Structure 1
């Protein structure tokens, strides 16, 4: 019995695998988008109980079962996302992550009473469009088959330089910008979260590959390798830092704004880290470079709109009324001018 195949980026995908990958990618977005709402509800309950806010350094939210439920939900979503890459092409899976923005926006308006104005909705749409453009034109990750190959790439001097830059920038932001702008500018906490998160992705892939090889029996020495434990500890530390600053951001700002900005920054930095780690950018075509630049411009415009107009309360009906009033004023001016000329 023959199974129909489709070819994407030079790789074969049968229809069953493609359908499984598509389902996992959609499920991942649903879980991740929902996890933001569950965590936000837990943080609001935490504050209403008289505890110190997460943004002020309080950690009593760890006693909230709902927060752990949100963490587990996010873990399930990330796990489904990783499995989706095994069944479907990256060109399909990664852009579908933008669905988490829409899921979060819908659920936040339903359960958190966080209303996005008309400008914010347009900005969210531009965030998704810009991210999809970047992902479609970004270099695709090459296949890494062994833990040894990946550890060699992780210890490469270029990736080590990237890690050093991320750590140094994070320390500078922590010391200089967090005390001054952490509670007023959404980009401060989310940059910390996204930058460290880009390292988390690389470390998690290495840990998962090492465990997989040990289970299937291809290389039982991975668990006894000191690099495995060093990467595992680094992964745990990065996840803790990432979750800490994500909680601070959710505690201060609306989920409908945090989700798209976090998705965009996290996606962009993961693409940059993957490009440095796997060196795909060396073979990029001019059209792909131009597409990435255009995607970055769209994303930057969307982030500016989300921040600059977040307190600007306007609806589509208000815009219609403003347009009608301006037309009426213009009509009156034209009539008055015509009368004055006739006189």
Structure 2
């Protein structure tokens, strides 16, 4: 009788992790497909106006780009829900699978040939994601947003946050206007640096929603809204530079 609670707890953790895993894989499929759809839309918009890589926003009038955006939103929602159920260390690596989906669809839809190094990169993505997921540690779920805030305000994380913001500002204000249109790594660097903060804030919001649904209202904590504003800001920045990066070398 004494062993029943731990077993039940382990079963619930496994079930939540499985839900998070399935949602993360589905998210990668939708997001990977959205990149290809949006790129076709960006190409079509670029043929009739200024390109996104050159600072134009004509793609906002292109229906195909909006279809890609809707597909991405569906994928991001699935990814968001996955963070509610599973640890970030399990969900985040699965995002690399979107690269595989994009590579395969690009080969058939955009007629982009995948070279040997590209194939090797895809294999490494699969192997890396699999290793991390199989060895993902059990996560101790915080009981409130305040606990997440305490972890996020530790000196080490604050130092990392300041570094990520500083690198992003240098890339956005100095590098992007000069070499962004010819070097896609500038836009990818911005999205990656900001994306690391997005993961943290999305995980915090996911936990807040889960606790609220369990009867522990988190809307009264100002930290919840700080994390929400941070997530929205990061997502908007990523979307802007992701669209620029789609055609920066086109």
TM-score, structure 2 normalization: 0.80
Q: CA deviation at 1:19?
A: 5.8
1:226 aligns with 2:226: no
Q: What is the aligned counterpart of 1:207 among 201, 205, 208? A: 205
Aligned mate of 1:238, from 216, 234, 237: 234
1:13 and 1:88 in contact (8 A); partners too: no
CA distance in 1, matches of 2:181, 2:129: 26
Unaligned runs of 5+ in 1: 1-6, 255-343
1:129 alignment partner, one of 100, 106, 127? 127
The C-alpha deviation readout for 1:81-127, integer Å capped at 9, x for no partner, is: 34345666777655543332221111111211211123322233234
Secondary structure in 2 aligned to 1:143? Answer: coil
Aligned to 1:12: 11
Q: Check if 1:41 corresponds to 2:40.
A: yes
User: Which range moved further: 41-50 or 23-32?
Assistant: 23-32
Root mean square deviation of aligned Cα: 3.1
Following the alignment from structure 1 to structure 2, what is the Cα–Cα distance between the partners of residues 16 and 153? 26
Is the 2:93–2:132 contact (alpha carbons within 8 Å) kept by the matching residues of 1? no
Stretches of structure 2 lacking an aligned partner (at least 5 in a row): 1-6
Match of 1:187 among 185, 205, 212: 185
> Which residue number corresponds to residue 56 of structure 2?
58
Q: CA deviation at 1:133?
A: 4.4
Q: Secondary structure at the match of 1:173?
A: helix
- Which structure has the larger Rg? 1
* Equivalent residue, structure 2, for 1:258: none
TM-score between the two structures when normalised by the length of structure 1: 0.61
How far residue 160 of structure 1 moved from its aligned partner, in angstroms, is 1.7
Contact 2:30 2:71 in 1 (8 A): yes
Shift of 1:228: 2.9
Q: Distance in 1 between matches of 2:84 and 2:111?
A: 38
Report if aligned partners of 1:40, 1:251 keep a CA contact under 8 Å in 2: yes
Q: d(CA) in 1 for partners of 2:154 and 2:13?
A: 35
Structure 2 vs 1, CA of residues 173 and 134 (structure 1 numbering), >3 Å: closer, same or farther? farther
Cα gap change, 1:46/1:95 in structure 2, threshold over 3 Å: closer, same or farther? same
* Structure 1 residue 15, shift from structure 2 partner: 8.0
**Structure 2 Cα separation of the partners of residues 139 and 213 of structure 1:** 21
Distance 1:250 1:148 in 2: 38
Aligned residue number for residue 118 of structure 1: 116
1:21–1:83: 8 Å Cα contact kept in structure 2? Answer: yes
The offset of 1:196, in angstroms, is 0.3
Q: Superposed, which structure 2 residues align to 1:278-289 within 5 Å?
A: none
1:204 positional shift = 1.9
**Cα deviation, residue 155, structure 1:** 2.4
Match of 2:66 among 60, 65, 68: 68
Distance 1:131 1:200, change over 3 A: same
Q: Secondary structure at the match of 2:118?
A: helix
> Deviation of residue 213 (structure 1)?
4.0
* Secondary structure, aligned partner of 2:109: helix
Q: Would the aligned equivalents of 2:184 and 2:249 in 1 still touch at CA under 8 Å? A: yes
Conserved 8 A contact 2:84-2:206: no
Give CA deviations for 1:173-208 in whole Å, capped at 9, x if unaligned: 223322333223232111100110111111122233
C-alpha separation between the residues in 1 aligned to 2:208 and 2:21?
Answer: 26
Distance 1:116 1:216 in 2: 47
Q: CA deviation at 1:60?
A: 2.7
